[in-house]
């Protein structure tokens, strides 16, 4: 149990009040090295998000909260208007690091709203309020992941095979994770699952992070290439698909790691339920459908040269490298949030969560 809790309750983002320092586990070095790095400047924070040292929509949100606090502390001078302007500029800068996940924007807005609400306070009170808000975002995510895990666990049985894509485990969130939450919570309770982890090209989060987290937690995990999901399903080894989400539109269309929509189409073909798991902060009620979700295009070198000993394609070959795709709501069997499991029609069930618009 010690072993599994070191995974389910890992401290991937940690603000140390004694040394007044923000640390994250650098996910880009896993599974070969577990190293904490300290984030001090806005540039380091931007780079950490951009380079996926911290990744996973909820984790980015948690990290962004603490980042805003650290940056607020760094602002010199007493003028509140200048302070608010500078903090807002920092927020805009951080928010530009990645466009798709709504949590980044969501956390930054929460922090800026907190600053505005405390505009008349002393500097000390302002910083206290910002720290409390960042810590609240963090604690809130832990509670949400726990609730998502409990709800998700009602969808599977011990012995089930579960396929997951990318990484939506503790590293991508706070504790337990979203897509991996039911698996880890069930494992703590003695259930056995057989998990298939898509390696998730090009950044290999499934190989480097998901299979790492599950193996360390003692879960029966099998790593496959993304293009093996079809044969694994055809073999009858998969009873459910669990994936995370980066943004859920009001109609249930879901942006998640590139390849997720393909998994959903395969699952539909083989008659396997396909579930999206994520906190309600990932639902964007302002976004009517998937057409309105911006999709981040990343560097072709992630496909051609990154990780490799030598280039895997001619330098002049073009690449298309979208980081996300949108899974049509019609392919989704359920969206598991901390408030319960939404079922189709999502326009109705997501609206019933009465999420605040921006």
Residues found near a copy of itself in the complex (CB under 8 A): 31-32, 165, 196, 198-202, 204, 207-208, 211-212, 215-216, 221-232, 234, 258-259, 261-262, 265-266, 268-269, 295, 300, 303-304, 307-314, 316-322, 325-326
**Catalytic site residue from 140, 141, 246, 325:** 246
**Closer residue to a copy of itself, CB minimum distance, 94 or 241:** 241
Least distance in angstroms from the C-beta of 211 to a copy of itself:
5
Least distance in angstroms from the C-beta of 13 to a copy of itself:
22
- In the three-class reduction of DSSP (H, G, I as helix; E, B as strand; rest coil), residue 37 is classed as strand
| Measured distance CA(215)–CA(43) in Å, rounded | 34
| Measured distance CA(50)–CA(97) in Å, rounded | 5
| Measured distance CA(290)–CA(247) in Å, rounded | 9
267: nearest Cα among 134, 126, 113, 161: 161
Any bridge partners for residue 328, and if so which?
none
**Closer residue to a copy of itself, CB minimum distance, 143 or 317:** 317
Catalytic residue status for 198: no
Q: Which residues have a Cβ under 8 Å from the Cβ of 156 and sit 6 or more positions away?
A: 162, 182, 186, 193, 239, 240
**Closer residue to a copy of itself, CB minimum distance, 107 or 207:** 207
Residue with tokens 């982890």: 197
- In the three-class reduction of DSSP (H, G, I as helix; E, B as strand; rest coil), residue 91 is classed as helix
Contact 267, 332 (CB under 8 A): no
Least distance in angstroms from the C-beta of 11 to a copy of itself:
20
Least distance in angstroms from the C-beta of 48 to a copy of itself:
20
**Closer residue to a copy of itself, CB minimum distance, 262 or 285:** 262
**Closer residue to a copy of itself, CB minimum distance, 37 or 224:** 224
Q: Which residues have a Cβ under 8 Å from the Cβ of 344 and sit 6 or more positions away?
A: 252, 329, 330, 332
Least distance in angstroms from the C-beta of 162 to a copy of itself:
14
Helices (DSSP H) in 118-258: which residue ranges? 123-153, 181-188, 205, 211-216, 229-234
Q: Which residues are tagged catalytic? A: 246
């Amino acid at each position: 149990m010690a072993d599994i809790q070191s995974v389910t309750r890992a401290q991937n983002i940690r603000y140390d009040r004694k040394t007044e320092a923000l640390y994250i586990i650098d996910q880009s070095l896993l599974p070969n090295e577990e190293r904490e790095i300290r984030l001090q400047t806005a540039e380091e924070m931007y780079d950490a998000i951009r380079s996926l040292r911290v990744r996973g929509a909820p984790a980015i949100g948690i990290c962004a909260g603490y980042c805003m606090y650290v940056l607020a502390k760094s602002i010199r001078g007493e003028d509140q208007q200048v302070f608010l302007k500078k903090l807002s500029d920092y927020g805009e800068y951080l928010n530009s690091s990645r466009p798709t996940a709504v949590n980044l924007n969501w956390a930054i807005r929460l922090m800026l709203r907190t600053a505005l609400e405390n505009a008349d306070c002393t500097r000390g009170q302002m910083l206290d309020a910002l720290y409390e808000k960042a810590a609240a975002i963090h604690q809130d995510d832990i509670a949400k992941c726990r609730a998502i895990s409990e709800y998700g666990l009602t969808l599977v049985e011990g012995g089930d095979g579960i396929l997951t894509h990318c990484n939506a485990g503790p590293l991508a969130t706070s504790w337990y994770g979203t897509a991996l939450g039911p698996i880890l919570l069930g494992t703590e309770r003695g259930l056995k699952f057989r998990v298939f982890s898509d390696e998730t090209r090009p950044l290999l989060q499934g190989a480097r992070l998901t299979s790492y987290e599950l193996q360390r937690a003692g879960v029966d995990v099998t790593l496959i290439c993304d293009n093996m999901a079809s044969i694994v399903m055809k073999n009858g080894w998969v009873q459910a698909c669990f994936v995370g989400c980066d943004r859920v539109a009001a109609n249930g269309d879901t942006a998640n790691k590139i390849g997720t929509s393909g998994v959903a189409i395969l699952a539909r073909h083989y008659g396997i339920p396909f579930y999206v798991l994520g906190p309600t902060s990932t639902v964007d009620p302002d976004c009517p459908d998937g057409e309105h979700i911006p999709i981040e295009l990343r560097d072709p070198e992630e496909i051609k040269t990154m990780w490799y000993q030598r280039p895997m394609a001619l330098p002049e070959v073009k690449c298309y490298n979208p980081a996300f795709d949108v899974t049509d709501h019609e392919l989704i069997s359920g969206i598991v949030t901390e408030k319960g499991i939404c079922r189709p029609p999502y326009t109705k069930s997501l609206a019933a969560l009465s999420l605040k618009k921006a």
